[in-house]
Amino acid sequence: ENVLTQSPGTLSLSPGERATLSCRASQSVSSNFLAWYQQKPGQAPRLLMYATSSRATGIPDRFSGSGSGTDFILTISRLEPEDFAVYYCQQYQRSPLTFGGGTRVEIK
């Protein structure tokens, strides 16, 4: 099983600041099979990025993804009030599909 470790656990930032979220895999992941989701309280997850750097439909360009091998990054260039949420990375290269433990982005 490919274990995904996200850091930091919590990120405290102000609106307008840049957020950098990390996802590290225990085994190499093809960049074609790494996704990021956003989840707000009481809501289902929302797909942000797939194939590491492709934005899902309707996702603003302040969200970007990068990385390869075992290290992947989600960057939010300028935080908007609606961006404060929990973010999960997911690898879908091999079964079992696995998710990281999540990074909470909170208002400082």
Partner 1 sequence: EVQVLESGGGLVQPGGSLRLSCAASGFSFTNYAINWVRQAPGKGLEWVSSISSSGRTYYAGSVEGRFTISRDISKATLHMEMNSLRAEDTAVYYCAKDLLTYSTGWYGASDIWGQGTIVTVSS
Q: Could you list the residues that contact partner 1 (CB under 8 A)?
A: 1, 33, 35, 37, 39, 44-47, 50, 56-57, 88, 90, 92-93, 95-102
| Residue whose CB is less far from partner 1, 14 or 57 | 57
Q: CB of 88: closest distance to partner 1 in angstroms?
A: 5
Does residue 19 contact residue 87 with C-beta atoms inside 8 Å? Answer: no
Q: CB of 96: closest distance to partner 1 in angstroms?
A: 5
Q: Which residues contact 5 (CB under 8 A, 6 or more apart)?
A: 23, 24, 25, 26, 100, 101
Determine the Cα–Cα distance for residues 108 and 99; give it in Å rounded to an integer: 26
| Residue whose CB is less far from partner 1, 17 or 59 | 59
Q: CB of 65: closest distance to partner 1 in angstroms?
A: 12
Q: CB of 51: closest distance to partner 1 in angstroms?
A: 8
Joined tokens for residue 103: 């990074």
Question: Phi, psi at residue 4, to the nearest 5°?
Answer: -105, 125
